[in-house]
Chains A and B, each alone.
Chain A
């Protein structure tokens, strides 16, 4: 409970933690997956696992976009960046993601024209200001960021910007949850539903989890109290034998989602028949591609993309961690070869990756040495 003093209302936190203890039956083990990487980050940052009884286990889900992107897609992106006349634009998180021959940042240092942008609209603006070049935007993210790419493409078409295209890596969260539910070693009892994705898609898309699989889903906010309250709501459902979708984060998440955002998504994107997820393999209809009307702005149709497939470094166990089979520190590379400063696997890259969150808030606090590699040597 090292951070308990920082909680805005420690009394309410304690009440929620007590309620969780009261609701969790001692003869039962509960496995609850928080789908969203933002929740994973908050759970480690606030040491929330330390407030839970031992039989309530949190499993960290696939909701970190750079973490689930297979290395081959980064390589494909870097192949686009190497095309003559191309400026490659990407978010900061993507700049550090390792490809086979280094990250975009390292490729930039070696001379590739790669720019970091904070918004897809900035990539479009870059294209407008550089008519002598072609700007490829590396689009990534769940439904939280996909509408911004959609609106940018609509704008590009409206303005007739011909030297701009999108390398689309947007994925959708629901098929990933379904794949996890369908996997034979699935032992989950319930889900903490993502907050910001749900502001776009609303709560309805999760109903199959409750109806068809009998697992409670509670869409949650990001405050420590939000997460604990969501766990209370989940345990209450389980205690009462209910499985429903509930919205703990109603102050931000409308039940129906953001209709203009959903409209923009359907105007611009179609589902890919399948897409590869790191650690989860190929999942049907789990990613977005540009509709044919937007072929002129689709980097995968304008250029030849090699379609590289790379097996993860053998020693790295990103897949097992992503599926919740291993805890981050149980991976052979964790904290040694693989650190946030020098990530081998993508789970170490983003602050929302389970490994980086664990490293920053648990490993650094409990490790006798800041850098265990030095000790080992």
Chain B
């Protein structure tokens, strides 16, 4: 739960700007980027993800270092399980009045 997982933004769909398709070590998942909208986010940017939410924008070097840290702490597999486990994707709220 306290893992900060580094991921690279691949795509932000115009119709769901609060979600970004993010790639983490080859796995692509939607994460929530509400907290970084003000700061501005574009494909290619690197972010640190906590429980499905991108919490901070970081440099590519800081992202790489974070992944290395997770490996050294033996938490990289857990981190990948977490990312693979995100299910909310674009489905949340589909078909409901908002």
Contacts and interface: CB of A to CB of B under 8 A. Distances in A.
Which of B68, B82, B87, B97 has most chain A Cβ within 10 Å?
B87
A366 interface: no
Given A91-B51, A151-B35, A351-B75, A121 B92 contact: yes
A6 interface: yes
Given A6-B72, A37-B2, A41-B73, A128 B92 contact: yes
Given A128-B93, A351-B75, A122 B53 contact: no
B22 interface: no
Choose among B53, B59, B85 the residue with the greatest number of A CB atoms under 10 Å from its CB: B53
A119 B83 CA distance: 9
Contacts of B66: 222
A118 B51 contact: yes
Given A122-B85, A196-B50, A258-B35, A147 B1 contact: no
A122 B98 CA distance: 18
A261 B58 CA distance: 16
Q: Is the interface of A mostly helix, strand, loop or mixed?
A: helix
Nearest to B84: A118
Interface residues of B, number: 41
A121 B52 contact: yes
Interface in B30-57: 32, 34-38, 48, 50-53, 55-56
A65 B2 contact: yes
A28 interface: no
Interface in A325-369: 351-352
Given A65-B1, A160-B97, A122 B86 contact: yes
Given A122-B86, A125-B92, A352 B2 contact: yes
Given A45-B72, A258-B35, A145 B48 contact: no
A158 interface: yes
Given A42-B69, A125-B91, A141-B2, 11 more contacts: A65-B2, A118-B86, A119-B86, A121-B92, A159-B93, A160-B97, A199-B55, A222-B66, A223-B65, A258-B56, A352-B2
Interface of B: 1-2, 4, 32, 34-38, 48, 50-53, 55-56, 58-59, 62, 65-66, 68-69, 72-75, 78, 81-83, 85-88, 91-93, 96-98
Interface of A: 6, 8, 37-38, 41-42, 45-46, 64-65, 91-94, 117-122, 124-125, 128, 140-141, 144-145, 147-148, 151, 155, 158-160, 196, 199-200, 222-223, 251-252, 254, 258-261, 264, 351-352
